[in-house]
């Protein structure tokens, strides 16, 4: 059976800097090479799309030599860090933009949901946009009418269906846009991270619908997400992108493990060397350390133990602690947030010194055995000062959380709750 999508030697090059500066001269140079039957001269000077380095060329390869196939009826996940080229790849597959080199062969009608309300006109009502969007996808008016009630019911916006969509909330917008894309029966459905806009209930419905589309209808789905739980639940196989190239194509579990392992390697880089941190750096985290109840530094954490996480920092000025928000967030290997510990739920009277440390004390650490990542976030007067996603990782070793020598064995559980059972007669 021929694949639904076949991508061969696909590349996309972009020019950096101000649009227009020197563009005409470059375009003329390209044209002159073309009419003489010669290769585009700028294809040889582009650099890999690594946003953390300055580079020497004004041309970068957002994608370079991408090759993969998607069988009919399969759900393919596309994962990778921000800037890896995921959205560029989907835009090429959706024919929003043209490739620089290479080819894409797709068999069947393609419906794309690349951002909230793709193909919607803000001045038109929800009803009008359903018919407009369906027509753009190549559907007949009769096909759209037969699915209209089902689309509105799925989106849950019947009361607003004759209201211009510019008055919709972002959640309503994406619900209706997804409902149109999923119900109008395209042979290929391309979905970007837009589902993150919806609430938890809608995300579950959307994932259920995509499963139904692929399994029941034999249609092909390409799904991009940073939520590894959704990828694992929905996708048959995955493509891992890194700096615009395909690092691997394999089963979902293998690719997720590879992706997580790559992210965990960030911890091997000192925080001072991290170039992906965000904020104005009025307060900057220099070091993260873990201590036990005896104030001894530890490399791994025991389930149920008292834990102190120490953040060593430098500040450019003394700040009122009530104006400073510090938070540490912990995620599991699938990228799911397990808990956050923000400081702004407490009141402080003193100031933050120019140099010092901030300690987060957790009296009874609640996570089961495994490897976890943590993110650090600091803001001053509601302005981001230092934000380091996946700043590092830590290992948890199973401990005696309940004082019984036993721990739950459920494979889906990662956090523990301090509880007891009682009987009363």
Task: Identify the CATH number of the domain in which residue 333 sits.
Answer: 2.70.50.60
pLDDT at position 228 over 60: yes
| Same-domain status, 288 and 221 | no
Q: Among 66-80, 187-201, 320-334, name the one with the lowest average pLDDT.
A: 187-201
Question: Within this chain, do residues 207 and 62 fall inside the same structural domain, yes or no?
Answer: yes
Q: Are residues 369 and 361 in contact, defined by beta-carbon separation less than 8 angstroms?
A: no
Predicted pLDDT of residue 179: 85
- Please indicate, yes or no, whether residues 103 and 243 belong to a single structural domain of this protein: yes
DSSP codes joined into one string, 280-345: --SEEEEEEEEE-TTS-B-SEEETT--EEEEEEEEESS-EEGGGEEEEEEEE-TT--EEEEEEGGG
219 with 276, same domain? no
Task: Report pLDDT for 302.
Answer: 83
115 pLDDT more than 70: no
Q: Would you say residue 248 lies in a domain? A: yes
More confident residue, 212 or 19: 212
Last residue of a domain, one of 215, 230, 263: 263
Whether 206 shows a pLDDT value over 50: the answer reads: yes
**What's the average model confidence in pLDDT over 387-401?**
84
- d(C-alpha 228, C-alpha 257), whole Å: 10
Whether the pLDDT of residue 210 is over 60: the answer is yes
What is the percentage of the chain residues whose pLDDT exceeds 90?
A: 25
Question: Does 424 fall in a domain?
Answer: no
In this structure, the answer to whether residues 193 and 248 fall within a common structural domain is: yes
**pLDDT confidence tier of residue 360, bands split at 50, 70 and 90:** very high
The structure tokens listed for 99 are: 């490739």
- Who has greater pLDDT, 5 or 400? 5
Q: What is the mean pLDDT of residues 320-326?
A: 88
Which 8-state DSSP code applies to residue 353? P
Q: What is the mean pLDDT of residues 237-252?
A: 91
Residue 338 covered by a domain: yes
DSSP letters, 156-208, are: T-GGGTTSBGGGS-HHHHHHHHHHHHHHS--SEEEE-GGGGGS-HHHHHHHHH
Structure tokens at 75: 């759900």
Does 177 fall in a domain? Answer: no
Three-state SS for 223? Answer: strand
349 within some domain: yes
Query: Does residue 374 sit in the same domain as residue 325?
Result: yes
Is 130 part of any domain?
no
pLDDT at 153: 92
Query: Could you tell me if residue 402 is inside a domain?
Result: no
Question: Average pLDDT for residues 45-64, to the nearest whole number?
Answer: 65
Helical packing angle, 170-183 and 126-136, nearest 10°: 40
Structure tokens at 207: 């994932």
Q: How confident is the model at residue 282 (pLDDT cuts 50, 70, 90)?
A: very high
Locate 73 and state its tokens: 């009826």
Domain boundary residue, one of 229, 248, 263: 263
327 with 392, same domain: the answer is yes
- Regarding whether 80 and 224 lie in a shared domain, the answer is yes
* Domain boundaries, position 389: 270-397
Q: Is residue 211 part of a domain?
A: yes
**% of the chain residues with pLDDT over 70:** 82
| Cα dihedral across residues 160, 163, 167, 171: positive or negative | positive
Same domain? 221 vs 280 = no
**What's the pLDDT at 21?**
45
Q: Which tens digit of pLDDT belongs to each residue from 134-155?
A: 888 777 899 899 999 999 998 8
Per-residue model confidence (pLDDT) at position 50: 58
Please compute the mean of the pLDDT values over residues 398-423 and round it to a whole number: 70
Q: How far apart are the C-alpha atoms of 360 and 177, rounded to whole Å? A: 42
Q: How far is residue 403's CA from residue 318's CA, in Å, rounded to a whole number?
A: 44
Do 24 and 98 belong to one domain?
Answer: yes
On the question of pLDDT at 194 being above 70, the answer is no
| Residue 67: per-residue pLDDT | 93
Choosing from 263, 298, 315, the residue where a domain stops is 263
Angle at 201 between CA 198 and CA 205, to 5 degrees: 90
pLDDT at position 217 over 60: yes
Q: Give the three-class secondary structure for 234.
A: helix
pLDDT at 354: 87
The predicted-structure confidence for 14-49, as pLDDT tens digits, reads as follows 876 555 445 566 667 666 766 777 766 656 555 565
* pLDDT given for residue 18 in this prediction: 55
Count of Cβ atoms closer than 10 Å to residue 250 Cβ: 14
Pair of tokens at residue 189: 């459905």
- Whether residue 247 sits in one domain with residue 200: yes
Sorting pLDDT into bands at 50, 70 and 90, what band is 347?
Answer: confident
Question: Which domain CATH number covers 230?
Answer: 3.40.50.300
Helix axes 126-136, 141-155, angle to 10 degrees: 130
Rounded to the nearest 5 percent, the helix, strand and coil shares of the chain are 30, 35, 35
The pLDDT, as a whole number, for residue 425 is 44
Strand partners of residue 397: 302
Judge if 297 and 198 occupy the same domain: no
Measured CA to CA, the distance from residue 102 to residue 122 in angstroms comes to: 35
Higher-confidence position of 124 and 322: 124
386-404 mean pLDDT:
83
CB neighbours (10 Å) of residue 412?
Answer: 5
The β-bridge partners of 243 are: none
CA dihedral sign, ordered 270, 276, 282, 285 = negative
As for how many domains the chain has, the answer is 2
Is residue 365 helix, strand or coil?
Answer: coil
Q: How do residues 375-391 score in pLDDT, each as one tens digit? A: 999 999 989 999 998 88
pLDDT bracket for residue 399 (50, 70, 90): confident
Residue 71 sits at the vertex; the CA angle it makes with 67 and 72, to the nearest 5 degrees, is 140
Of 249 and 230, more confident: 249
Report the alpha-carbon distance of residue 245 to residue 261 in Å, rounded: 18
């Amino acid at each position: 059976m021929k694949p639904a999508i076949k991508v061969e030697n696909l590349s996309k090059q972009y020019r950096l800097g101000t649009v227009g500066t020197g563009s005409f001269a470059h375009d003329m140079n390209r044209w002159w090479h073309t009419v003489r039957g010669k290769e585009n001269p700028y294809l040889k000077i582009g650099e890999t799309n690594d946003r953390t380095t300055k580079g020497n060329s004004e041309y970068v390869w957002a994608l370079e030599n991408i090759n993969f196939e998607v069988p009919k009826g399969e759900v393919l996940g596309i994962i990778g860090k921000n800037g890896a080229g995921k959205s560029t790849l989907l835009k090429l597959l959706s024919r929003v933009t043209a490739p620089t080199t290479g080819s894409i062969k797709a068999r069947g009608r393609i419906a794309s949901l690349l951002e909230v309300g793709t193909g919607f006109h803000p001045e038109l009502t929800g009803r009008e946009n359903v018919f407009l969007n369906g027509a753009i996808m190549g559907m007949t008016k009769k096909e759209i009418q037969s699915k209209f009630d089902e689309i509105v019911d799925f989106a849950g916006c019947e009361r607003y269906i004759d209201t211009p969509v510019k008055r919709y909330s972002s959640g309503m917008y994406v619900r209706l846009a997804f409902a149109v894309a999923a119900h109008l029966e395209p042979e290929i459905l391309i979905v970007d991270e837009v589902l993150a806009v919806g609430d938890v209930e809608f995300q579950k419905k959307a994932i259920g619908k995509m499963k139904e589309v692929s399994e029941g209808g034999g249609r092909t789905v390409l799904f991009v997400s940073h939520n590894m739980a959704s990828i694992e639940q929905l996708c048959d196989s995955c493509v891992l992108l890194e700096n615009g190239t395909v690092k691997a194509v394999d089963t979902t579990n293998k690719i997720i493990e590879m992706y997580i392992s790559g992210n965990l390697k960030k911890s091997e880089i000192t925080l001072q060397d991290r170039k992906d941190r965000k904020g104005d750096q009025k307060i900057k985290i220099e070091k993260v350390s873990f201590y036990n109840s005896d104030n001894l530094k530890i490399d791994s954490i025991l389930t149920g133990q008292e834990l102190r996480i120490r953040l060593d920092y430098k500040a450019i000025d003394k700040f009122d602690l009530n104006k400073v928000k510090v938070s540490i967030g912990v995620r599991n290997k699938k990228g799911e947030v397990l808990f956050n510990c923000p400081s702004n739920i407490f009141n402080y009277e003193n100031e933050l010194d120019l140099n010092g440390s901030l300690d987060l004390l957790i009296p009874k650490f609640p996570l089961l055995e495994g490897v976890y990542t943590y993110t650090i976030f600091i803001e001053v007067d509601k302005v981001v000062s230092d934000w380091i996603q996946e700043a590092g990782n830590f290992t948890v070793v199973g401990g005696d959380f309940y004082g019984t020598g036993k721990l739950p064995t459920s494979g889906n559980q990662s956090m523990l709750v301090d509880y007891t059972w009682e009987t009363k007669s």
